[in-house]
């Protein structure tokens, strides 16, 4: 199974801030990933559990045995041909939005990166620290350089929390959600098939609705960059 017309997806994400590619993973490959997820010990510190959401931060570090299943030939091709030869992983999270979830996400941009320590650095801030993990808002050029891949382990549409996005909002810098001008902006729902991926720029305004159809939505979220951070600051989850 190989991907065709990657140039089309590349130009779409550059122009609109997102793109959807289906059939990146076969049913068998998705099954292998789910099998690993079904057998993990969920009591660890980096796991967040509530009725509405189950999440694993630093996912690829926590579940290293899943890497070979995630980075199949298609994903490697996407990273190389759409992002660039030198891109590496800088962040990974697994989200499981259960069938009964009432959890919705208001429109926002992804404005922080995960780093290994807290430093006073010009252009970096504000900082947040959770469970000894450091997140910071970096200068705009760092955010503009990042690409996100969201791998969908379930069919996802408007009724079970597919992302809604505002096309081209990634090219407008820091864009506060309360200032969205709906007379000029439009909203698009990003339906993704099981085994498909959504590509996104972190500055693309995005959100999701509550689940109404009683179906699961499991997503693996991985961010990539090809930039080194200044001075002695490092990406917390750097992985080639």
Domains of the chain, residue spans:
6-225
Sole residue written with tokens 């947040």: 128
CB 42 within 8 A of CB 69: no
CB 90 within 8 A of CB 114: yes
Query: What does residue 31 show for φ and ψ, rounded to 5 degrees?
Result: -60, -40
Q: pTM (2 decimals)?
A: 0.95
pLDDT number for residue 116: 95
The CATH number of 6-225 is 2.60.120.620
Kindly write down the DSSP assignment for every residue of the chain, as one continuous string. -----HHHHHHHHHHHSEEEE--SS-HHHHHHHHHHHHTS-TTSTTEEE-SS-EEEESHHHH-GGGHHHHS-HHHHHHIIIII-TT-EEEEEEEEEE-TT----EEEE----EEESS----TT---EEEETTEEEE---HHHHHH-EEEEEESS-B-GGGT-EEE-TTGGGGSS--GGG--TTT---EE--B-TT-EEEE-TTS-EEEPPP-SS--EEEEEEEEE-PPPSTT--BTT-B-
- Positive or negative: CA dihedral 46, 73, 110, 52: negative
CB 205 within 8 A of CB 169: yes
CA distance 159 to 191: 10
pLDDT number for residue 210: 86
197 vs 46, 122, 153, CA distance in Å? 24, 35, 9
**pLDDT tens by residue, the chain, 240 residues:** 568 889 999 999 999 999 999 999 999 999 999 999 999 887 777 788 777 778 999 999 999 999 999 999 999 999 999 999 999 999 999 999 887 777 788 999 999 999 999 999 999 999 999 878 899 999 999 999 999 999 999 999 999 989 999 999 999 999 999 999 999 999 999 999 999 999 999 999 999 988 888 898 999 999 999 999 998 899 999 998
At a CB cut-off of 8 Å and minimum separation 6, what does 98 contact? 51, 52, 53, 54, 211, 216
At a CB cut-off of 8 Å and minimum separation 6, what does 167 contact? 16, 17, 18, 186, 188, 204
**Residue 131: left if φ>0, alpha if ψ -120 to 50, beta else—which one?**
left
| Each residue's pLDDT tens digit, 103-147 | 788 999 999 999 999 999 999 999 999 878 899 999 999 999 999
pLDDT number for residue 117: 95
pLDDT number for residue 2: 66
pLDDT number for residue 1: 56
């Amino acid at each position: 199974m190989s991907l065709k017309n990657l140039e089309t997806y590349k130009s779409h994400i550059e122009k609109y801030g997102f793109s959807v590619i289906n059939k990146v993973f076969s049913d068998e490959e998705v099954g292998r990933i789910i099998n690993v997820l079904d057998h993990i010990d969920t009591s660890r510190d980096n796991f967040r559990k509530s009725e509405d959401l189950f999440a694993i931060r630093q996912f690829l570090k926590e579940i290293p045995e899943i890497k070979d299943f995630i980075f199949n030939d298609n994903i490697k091709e996407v990273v190389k041909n759409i992002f660039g030869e030198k891109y590496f992983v800088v962040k990974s999270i697994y989200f499981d939005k259960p069938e009964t979830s009432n959890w919705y996400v208001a429109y926002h941009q992804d404005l922080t990166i995960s780093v290994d320590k807290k430093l006073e650095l010009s252009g970096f801030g504000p900082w947040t620290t959770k469970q000894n993990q450091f997140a910071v808002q970096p200068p705009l050029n760092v955010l503009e350089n990042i690409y996100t891949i969201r791998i969908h382990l379930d069919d996802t549409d408007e009724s079970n929390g597919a992302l809604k996005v505002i096309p081209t909002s990634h090219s407008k810098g820091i864009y506060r959600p309360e200032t969205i001008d709906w007379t000029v902006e439009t909203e698009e729902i990003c339906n993704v098939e099981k085994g498909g991926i959504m590509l996104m720029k972190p500055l693309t305004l995005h959100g999701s609705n509550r689940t109404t159809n009683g179906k699961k939505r499991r997503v693996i979220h991985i961010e990539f960059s090809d930039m080194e951070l200044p001075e002695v600051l490092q990406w917390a989850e750097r992985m080639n």
